[in-house]
């Protein structure tokens, strides 16, 4: 079977100039159109004093993070996403690429910047109008106006529509009165609130003319020039957290705090001079989701940051695996490097392939974000596709980070446990990525909801001829499934005979893609059928959803895995040079087949994988791991994580 794999591209683990060229070529491919800004951030992280400092007490850490953030402001990198009139470049793609790269360093700095420039600044930019921009963006961009994004409440996190803080318009004074009705409605976990924030974009139920208008954002000053809380505002520190010690998360209460009407961020809904409410989007739910949709940049940014934090862990673990020797053949003086062990290859390499795959998918997502935000009125369909992918990819990438960083820590043994080797911070700081910017399980449901809506629309909009074709496809698939099962049953006896089935097509990209596409399609149509059957039977929609929830989440997962494989496959195809193309192609095989291996029970249950082929998948994954272990060092080095942010365990072999 090894003969079906091309020979190792770098010629082993030695760092020859050929492998150096290949590493550089891979880094160019990974950095892509944003190589310049990524290099600039790498340069900044490599300057003395800018690498993470694992030993700082909380107060000093917070002060250090603010000082670093101010320095980045002076560099101009934090303004890139803002319009040129506010010192930026209006370049979302570049801004997010810069943010992602910052994730190689101290993640408290990353999150502090995310809160200030992405969330607080983003709310003003996307929910506000020219007057808000003129008044506040210069202070946001320069960090003279540190701010918060105050959405979550103690009682409601994922269910934002049910927030309970009120913002009541008072015509007599032309003011909005912001109020926390009880402790469950206090703002909680709010970044920048405990120490530095001066103003907050507060998400509250807007009441105009005695009528509730749904959740809107209002700018509320929370501290005065001296740093003391403004009248009516109570602020509390959230206290020690699992990680992100350098971020000052806090709680906010508002006791009938008055702000001018102009503080309503009113791009999508206004209180007019005559005190009446107006929104061009009449449907309140649609209005709410349109407003939330504009804040998607934070989600895309966290997704990219998770991928890059994972690269740090993988660089350390791969280098350690190449340098560290344990045990060896009996009678030999030489112990074997960890990377020689199959278990070690299996622990590191499929995850490494996944990080590459996610990187290319994130690259596409970032490009789409830039394209959608570049339009004044992006079509609903484009918006929704972006929202679907951002929700799904963020969930998959942040879970990948949590799992992989832990695996890398263990792969470094005791060395991985020392703070100096970065895993303590990487684990603790990335952990919450699965929760903020949308809880992952909730996000997968959002992703699936959109996919199922598209599926329904596709069905509903088909003309008679198209409908026939649609049903034809369904019938074809049912027949194909049945014949696959028959074929499988017929071949059970064959499985006892080794080598009767060819394994080579498992390395065909089309075979891999077909399996991923078929699984997604089958999951989606199955979930749609179950939901429809429940509704048709007159059952409560909520009960029907509860019963099918695991299936629905599976729709999103299989969708994201298919999209990620396609992004990786496309990146391989785009490769201009043969050697990186061959190596990336093999890595893509590993991503695809490791995913099929993980889900081989499902593929077998559905007649898409005989037991012979299922075993062949395992064997091929092993062979790919073995073959790619020779190139593991250059594959990890191609991430371009600056030496300054890597610990001792990453010392070069
Ligand atoms: C360090 C940190 C920083 C933060 N910074 C900010 C900030 O600056 N501004 C801000 O506004 N917020 C911030 N947050 C809040 C964060 O966005 C919320 O914690 C997040 O949205 C989840 O809400 P929750 O904590 O209420 O969890 P919940 O929504 O209560 O979820 C709890 C669990 O229930 C599950 N669950 C919930 N609903 C469902 C469902 N329908 N189906 C199945 N399972 C479900 C979830 O998967 C999760 O596992 C921060 C949080 C942290 C920890």
Q: Which two tokens stand for residue 628?
A: 């790619």
CA nearest ligand 1 atom 31, residue: 158
Helix (H) or strand (E) run with residue 212 in it: strand 211-221
Are the beta carbons of 206 and 169 closer than 8 angstroms?
Answer: yes
CA of 155 to the centre of ligand 1 (A): 10
Average pLDDT over residues 325-335: 92
CA of 395 to the centre of ligand 1 (A): 13
User: Is the pLDDT assigned to residue 180 strictly greater than 80?
Assistant: yes
Average pLDDT of the chain to the nearest whole number: 91
Q: How many angstroms separate the CA atoms of 437 and 340, rounded?
A: 39
Ligand 1 lined by 281 (C-beta under 6 Å): no
Fold of 295-644: Butyryl-CoA Dehydrogenase, subunit A; domain 3 (1.20.140)
CA of 158 to the centre of ligand 1 (A): 5
Ligand 1 lined by 435 (C-beta under 6 Å): yes
User: Is the pLDDT assigned to residue 105 strictly greater than 70?
Assistant: yes
Higher local confidence (pLDDT), 454 or 596: 596
Q: Same topology for domains 20-147 and 295-644, yes or no? A: no
The pLDDT, as a whole number, for residue 11 is 36
CA nearest ligand 1 atom 30, residue: 157
CA of 270 to the centre of ligand 1 (A): 29
Ligand 1 lined by 191 (C-beta under 6 Å): yes
Q: Which two tokens stand for residue 323?
A: 């340098």
The pLDDT, as a whole number, for residue 212 is 96
The pLDDT, as a whole number, for residue 160 is 95
The pLDDT, as a whole number, for residue 651 is 62
| Residue 16 pLDDT class (50, 70, 90 cuts) | low
Name the residue of 107, 117, 157, 553 whose CB sits within 8 Å of the most ligand 1 atoms, as the mutation to test its pocket: 157
CA of 436 to the centre of ligand 1 (A): 6
The pLDDT, as a whole number, for residue 467 is 36
Name the residue of 186, 190, 435 whose CB sits within 8 Å of the most ligand 1 atoms, as the mutation to test its pocket: 435
User: Is the pLDDT assigned to residue 315 strictly greater than 60?
Assistant: yes
What are the Cα distances from residue 258, in Å, to 170, 203, 218, 274, 568?
A: 10, 15, 11, 19, 52
| Residue 478 pLDDT class (50, 70, 90 cuts) | very low
| Locus of tokens 């009960």 | 543
| Residue 456 pLDDT class (50, 70, 90 cuts) | confident
Atom of ligand 1 nearest to the CA of 150: 11
* CATH among 3.20.20.105, 1.10.540.10, 2.40.50.840, 1.20.1260.10 for 20-147: 1.10.540.10
Strands (E), 486-571: none
CA of 205 to the centre of ligand 1 (A): 19
Ligand 1 lined by 138 (C-beta under 6 Å): no
Average pLDDT over residues 500-515: 84
Q: How many angstroms separate the CA atoms of 526 and 529, rounded?
A: 5
Higher local confidence (pLDDT), 481 or 145: 145
CA of 451 to the centre of ligand 1 (A): 23
Atom of ligand 1 nearest to the CA of 149: 9
| Residue 284 pLDDT class (50, 70, 90 cuts) | very high
Average pLDDT over residues 245-250: 98
Q: How many angstroms separate the CA atoms of 618 and 384, rounded?
A: 37
Q: Identify which of 360, 358, 109 has the alpha carbon closest to the alpha carbon of residue 245.
A: 109
Are the beta carbons of 551 and 523 closer than 8 angstroms?
Answer: yes
| Residue 18 pLDDT class (50, 70, 90 cuts) | confident
Q: How many angstroms separate the CA atoms of 221 and 652, rounded?
A: 51
Ligand 1 lined by 190 (C-beta under 6 Å): yes
Q: Where are the domains of the chain?
A: 20-147, 295-644
- What number of other Cβ atoms are within 10 A of residue 180's Cβ? 26
| Residue 497 pLDDT class (50, 70, 90 cuts) | very low
User: Is the pLDDT assigned to residue 484 strictly greater than 60?
Assistant: no
User: Is the pLDDT assigned to residue 494 strictly greater than 60?
Assistant: no
Atom of ligand 1 nearest to the CA of 159: 29
CA nearest ligand 1 atom 23, residue: 157
The pLDDT, as a whole number, for residue 147 is 98
Q: Which two tokens stand for residue 203?
A: 């998400």
Ligand 1 lined by 46 (C-beta under 6 Å): no
CA of 506 to the centre of ligand 1 (A): 40
The pLDDT, as a whole number, for residue 55 is 87
The pLDDT, as a whole number, for residue 485 is 38
Ligand 1 lined by 246 (C-beta under 6 Å): no
Share of the chain above pLDDT 90, in %: 84
Ligand 1 lined by 142 (C-beta under 6 Å): no
Predicted confidence (pLDDT) per residue in 199-241, tens digit = 999 999 999 999 999 999 999 999 999 999 999 999 999 999 9
- CB neighbour list of residue 151: distance below 8 Å, 6 or more residues apart: 160, 163, 187, 203
Atom of ligand 1 nearest to the CA of 191: 8
The pLDDT, as a whole number, for residue 361 is 98
The pLDDT, as a whole number, for residue 460 is 55
Q: Give the residues across from 170 on adjacent strands.
A: 175
Ligand 1 lined by 152 (C-beta under 6 Å): yes
The pLDDT, as a whole number, for residue 376 is 81
Average pLDDT over residues 555-574: 98
Higher local confidence (pLDDT), 18 or 292: 292
Average pLDDT over residues 233-253: 98
Average pLDDT over residues 67-78: 94
The pLDDT, as a whole number, for residue 294 is 82
């Amino acid at each position: 079977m090894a003969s079906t794999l091309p020979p190792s591209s770098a010629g082993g683990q030695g760092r020859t100039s050929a492998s150096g060229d290949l590493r550089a070529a891979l880094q160019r491919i990974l950095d892509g159109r944003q190589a310049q800004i990524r290099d600039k951030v790498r340069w900044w992280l490599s300057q003395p004093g800018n690498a993470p400092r694992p030993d700082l007490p909380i107060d000093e850490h917070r002060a250090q993070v603010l000082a670093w953030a101010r320095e980045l402001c002076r560099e101009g990198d934090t303004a890139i996403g803002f319009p040129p009139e506010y010192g930026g470049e209006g370049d979302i793609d570049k801004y997010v690429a810069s943010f992602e790269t910052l994730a190689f360093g101290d993640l408290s700095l990353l999150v502090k910047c995310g809160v200030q420039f992405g969330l607080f600044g983003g709310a003003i930019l996307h929910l506000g109008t020219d007057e808000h921009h003129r008044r506040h963006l210069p202070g946001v961009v320069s960090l003279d106006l540190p701010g918060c994004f105050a959405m979550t409440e103690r009682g409601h996190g994922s269910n934002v529509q049910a927030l309970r803080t009120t913002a009541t318009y008072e015509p007599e004074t032309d003011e909005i009165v912001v109020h926390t009705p009880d402790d469950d409605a206090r703002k909680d976990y709010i970044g920048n609130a405990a120490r530095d924030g001066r103003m907050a974009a507060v998400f509250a139920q807007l009441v105009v003319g005695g009528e509730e208008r749904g959740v809107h954002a209002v700018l509320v000053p929370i501290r005065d020039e001296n740093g003391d809380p403004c009248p009516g505002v109570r602020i509390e520190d959230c206290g020690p957290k699992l990680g992100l010690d350098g971020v000052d998360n806090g709680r906010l209460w508002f006791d009938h705090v008055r702000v001018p009407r102009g503080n309503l961020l009113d791009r999508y809904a206004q209180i007019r001079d005559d005190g009446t409410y107006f929104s061009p989007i009449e449907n309140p739910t649609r209005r709410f989701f349109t407003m939330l949709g504009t804040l998607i940049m934070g989600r895309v940014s966290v997704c990219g940051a998770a991928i890059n934090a994972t690269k740090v862990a993988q660089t350390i673990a791969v280098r350690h695996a190449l340098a560290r020797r344990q045990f060896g053949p009996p009678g030999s003086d030489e112990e074997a490097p960890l990377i020689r062990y199959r278990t070690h290859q299996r622990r590191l390499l499929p995850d490494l392939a996944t990080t590459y795959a996610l990187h290319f998918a994130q690259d596409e997502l970032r490009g789409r974000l830039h394209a959608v935000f570049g339009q004044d009125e992006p079509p609903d369909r484009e918006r929704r596709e972006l929202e679907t992918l951002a929700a799904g990819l963020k969930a998959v990438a942040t879970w990948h980070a949590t799992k992989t960083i832990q695996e890398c820590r263990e792969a470094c043994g005791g060395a991985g446990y020392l703070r100096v080797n970065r895993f303590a911070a990487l684990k603790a700081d990335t952990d919450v990525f699965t929760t903020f910017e949308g809880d992952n399980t909730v996000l997968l449901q959002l992703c699936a909801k959109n996919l199922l809506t598209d599926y329904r629309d596709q069905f509903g909009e088909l003309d008679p001829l198209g409908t026939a074709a649609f049903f034809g496809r369904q019938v074809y698939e049912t027949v194909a499934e049945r014949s696959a099962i028959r074929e499988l049953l017929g071949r059970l006896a064959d499985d006892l005979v080794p080598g009767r089935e060819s394994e080579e097509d498992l390395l065909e990209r089309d075979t891999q893609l077909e399996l991923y596409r078929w699984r997604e399609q089958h999951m989606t149509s199955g979930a749609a059928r179950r939901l429809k059957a429940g509704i048709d039977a007159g059952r409560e929609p909520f009960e029907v959803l509860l019963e099918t929830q695991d299936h629905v989440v599976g729709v999103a997962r299989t969708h994201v895995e298919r999209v990620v494989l396609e992004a990786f496959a496309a990146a391989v195809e785009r490769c201009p040079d043969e050697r990186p193309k061959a190596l990336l192609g093999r890595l893509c095989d590993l991503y695809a087949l490791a995913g099929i291996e993980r889900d081989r029970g499902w593929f077998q249950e559905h007649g898409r994988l005989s037991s012979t082929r299922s075993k062949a998948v395992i064997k091929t994954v092993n062979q790919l791991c073995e073959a790619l272990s020779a190139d593991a060092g250059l594959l990890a080095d191609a991430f371009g994580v600056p030496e300054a942010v890597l610990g001792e365990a990453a010392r070069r072999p």
